[in-house]
Amino acid sequence: MAHDAHDPLKHPEVQLASGRAYGTAFLIAIILMTVALYIARHAVDAPHTMLVLSGLAGLVVAVQLVLLLHLNLSSTQRWTTVSFVLAFPLFVIAVGLSMWMFHSLDARTMLMGLMH
């Protein structure tokens, strides 16, 4: 074919791989997940514990998205990032609104009086 001289290993998607990025992502994820396990097992019924754990999860996911899935604005990765940014609100809406809707049903309907 026309481009038979090319080498697939020279492709920017292949050249993205970085041992340092993998090592950093691994260490951050392991450390933060260990901290999360410790917090969960030693929590003294603090109301904000789940909030702290959610923050740790968000942090690890962000690190994975940037270091492992290479979401950035470089010319080869731009559309990967754009598609993620466009899809992300859908995840927030699907999970967030469903939970908010059902968890506030009690207060916003008259079921409360019927159930108790």
Q: Residues interacting with another protein, by CB under 8 A?
A: 1-4, 6, 8-9, 11-15, 17-19, 21-23, 25-26, 29-30, 33-34, 36-37, 40-41, 43, 49-50, 53-54, 56-57, 60-61, 64-65, 68-69, 76, 79-80, 83-84, 87, 90-91, 94-95, 98-99, 102-103
Cβ neighbours of residue 59 under 8 Å, at least 6 residues apart?
A: 28, 32
* Least separation in angstroms between CB 93 and another protein: 9
Distances in whole angstroms, Cα of residue 56 to Cα of each of 75, 80, 84, 87, 97: 30, 24, 20, 22, 22
Q: How far apart are CA 108 and CA 100, in angstroms?
A: 11
Q: Smallest distance, Å, CB 96 to another protein? A: 8
Distance CA 21, CA 70 (A): 10
